[in-house]
Structure 1
Amino acid sequence: MADFEGLIRQALARQNDADPAIREKVYQSSRKALARMIASAGVQPPDVINRQRAALEESIRRIEAGYGSRVAPRRPASDPNPAPPRARPAAPQNLATGVPPGAERIVVPPREGGPELPRVQVSSPPHNPVRHEPAYVDSDGGEYYRDDDYQYEGDEPESTLFRRIIAILALVAILGVIGWLGFSLASSLLGSWQSSSSSTPAPSVETTREADPATQDEATDASYITILSPSDTTALETAGRGRAEIVSQSNLEMVRLVSLRPAGAREQPAPPILIRLQEGVLPRIAGNRVTVEILAKSGSTGPANFAVGCDIGGQDLCGRKRFRIGIQPEAIVFTINIGPDLARASSAYLAISTDISQDAELTGEGDPLDLLYARLRLPTE
Structure 2
Amino acid sequence: MDAIEKAIRNALEKGNAEDRAFRERVYRSAFAALDRALQANPGVTVEVAIKRRKAIQAKIAEIESEFLPAVPDVGPQVDAPAAGPAAAAAPAIEIGDTAPPAVAVDGPAQPASDAPRSRVLPVVPDIMPDATLPGAPAIDMSSPAASGAAAEVAPDRDERRIRGRRLPLTAIFFTVTLLAAIGIGLFFAMQTGVFKTAAQLDTAPPEAPPTVEDDDFTPADGANAPAKPGAVDQSRDWINVFSPADPTHVAAPSDAKAEVMKDDTGPFLRIRSGASGSAIAFDVGQGVLEKLAGKHAVFDIIARAEDGKDTQISVDCNFGELGDCGRKRYAVGQQRNEYLFDVQFPNKRPGSAGTIAVNSDFDKQGKAVNIYEIRVSIEP
Length-normalised TM-score, structure 1: 0.40
Larger radius of gyration: 1
